[in-house]
Structure 1
């Protein structure tokens, strides 16, 4: 969805800072939930963590979109640079919060930030499940608009697509899905950039098929990475983020080389 929104194949929640923003919101609740944010956590209960992650991801996405878009056109270079800057800022603020954490929180946060499904319980899944289901249910309705948006915002508008509503719906949906996912599993990178590219090579760029296929294949690859993480150094468990980074980073470099014409299919 983000690749269609920004009209750029390099757009990914992990690369442009959305995951970092979601992590900042979640870490704030984990570290400050018993002190400064105690009224919020008491009021929201189990929803406090996913809602904080959602707000962090939403704020990052909106700032990124405002910075990278000018006169209806999104600058790829500006998007990536702004994403790096926002991610660095979010990581710095997250570092301050981690510095304030106690020993128990620090151990949990260190493993959680690298990405893991080990802490996922049915209670957590029940709290974030409705958010993810609603976000995923909305994505197929965006497919036609994202297909038209690939031709440019002006052309999409002439075709009857409500461009502004489409953009904000996509931003809110992505932020909700990323925030809820980060709240349960932490930050797991490269899945969001590897899966759509693999599927574009197999089924083409039509978002009517690409969006549901990406959800299914992404979930399958995540389960495969989790299986590898649990068995490769058994009985210890390797964070999933390490596994996906080792597999995804070379693929990302291949994408960059291919875009420069160095690698040819």
Structure 2
């Protein structure tokens, strides 16, 4: 198992490097890999190479594609890690931010910021409102689950119900908003990374790094919680407080990622299942590997979205929805509920 896990980690890193290279190189105007990495090297260490490429190619690589690929990696990693944690937390293999309504809450908060309040807190306004919406959705799901008497393994049902309500509120918010901005918001709701810019990447990067570090340190406690509250209590884990902390962290991750990418479904559902197939169910391995494979998965999904209808961008949510829906059916066939 150790060798298998090491190979999985090595494969994940190689896949991520290949994904970043392909994401920056390929598109409506392909750029050779040698040129891509020469431009990157020259930006990181100015003057290290003689510029033999055009200003147009440099702009495509550094100003357009590279920040977009980095954002895709950050969002994919964040959503996949959130899915892995929620599946262990709820003991339900179908749990992910989209199905639990957390993404819908984040989208509602972001739409309110985009259409009604404006950037009252600067660049952090949309992530802040999105986190508040995601946290509200998480609390609502937990409250509905407790009110209906459903256990942690049935939390997805409560999440679907809350997601419907939040989606309806989002639609109402759009209906009441400025008609001139509605088209942009609707495209954003379908998922897209076309507005990625270097100054904006700091927010999802910091949130992902901090959350991922904390979750990796708490991976063994998450394992215990996945085995049941009684087991966790016997190991001295304060179950109620720890579960609430996990909900807050996953809401923060989801809210910030949704703020910068729109509502992208099924990455959190698919990737953790694939990771468990190759690395087992121990969250010490599942959480970091989910981050790497999730990053690679969304980079490739974004690449497909960019080239299928080039030079137009297809919403990335369409790609993940098609693939994720098929994966969802496959999971349902393998398991009985």
Aligned equivalent of 1:37: none
Q: Work out the CA distance in 2 between the residues paired with 1:67 and 1:184.
A: 28
Does 1:54 find its partner at 2:131? yes
Aligned pairs for 1:119-130 (under 5 A) are: 119-130=195-206
Map 1:60-75 to 2 at 5 A.
60-69=137-146, 74-75=151-152
1:207-247 CA-partner distances (Å, limit 9, x unpaired)? 00000000110011000000000001111111110001111
Contact 1:5–1:146 (8 Å) recurs in 2:
yes
SS in 1 for 2:252: helix
C-alpha distance in 2, partners of 1:69/1:212? Answer: 31
- SS of the counterpart of 2:201? helix
2:277 matched to 1:201?
A: yes
- Partners of 1:214 and 1:129 in 2: CA distance: 16
Q: Deviations over 1:21-43 (max 9, x none)?
A: 00000000111124xxxxxx43x
Scaled by the length of structure 1, what TM-score is found?
0.90
Match of 1:138 in 2: 214
Unaligned runs of 5+ in 1: 35-40
Over residues 132-179 of structure 1, what are the superposed CA-to-partner deviations in whole Å (9 max), with x where a residue is unaligned?
A: 322222110221111111221011110122222321121111011100
Structure-2 residue corresponding to 1:3: 87
Find runs of 4+ consecutive structure 1 residues off by over 3 angstroms: none
Taking the aligned partners of 1:158 and 1:237, their CA distance within structure 2 comes to 52
Distance 1:199 1:189 in 2: 18
Equivalent positions of 1:95-244 (< 5 A) are 95-244=171-320
Tell me, yes or no, if the aligned pair for 1:69 and 1:75 is still in contact at 8 Å: no
Match of 2:101 among 8, 17, 22: 17
Counterparts of 2:294 and 2:163 in 1: how far apart (Å)? 23
RMSD between aligned residues: 1.9
Q: In the alignment, what sits opposite 2:111?
A: 27
Partner of residue 165, structure 2: 89
Contact in 2 for aligned 1:23/1:186 (Cα 8 Å) = yes
TM-score, length basis structure 2: 0.71
Check the 8 A contact 2:91/2:152 in 1, yes or no.
no
Decide whether the 8 Å contact of 1:114 with 1:186 is kept in 2: yes
Is contact 2:98-2:266 (8 Å) kept? yes
Does the residue aligned with 1:109 lie in a helix, a strand or coil?
Answer: helix
- Number of aligned residue pairs: give it: 253
Please tell me whether the aligned partners of residues 54 and 179 of structure 1 are also in contact (alpha carbons under 8 angstroms).
yes
Larger Rg: 2
Quote the offset at 1:104 in angstroms: 3.4
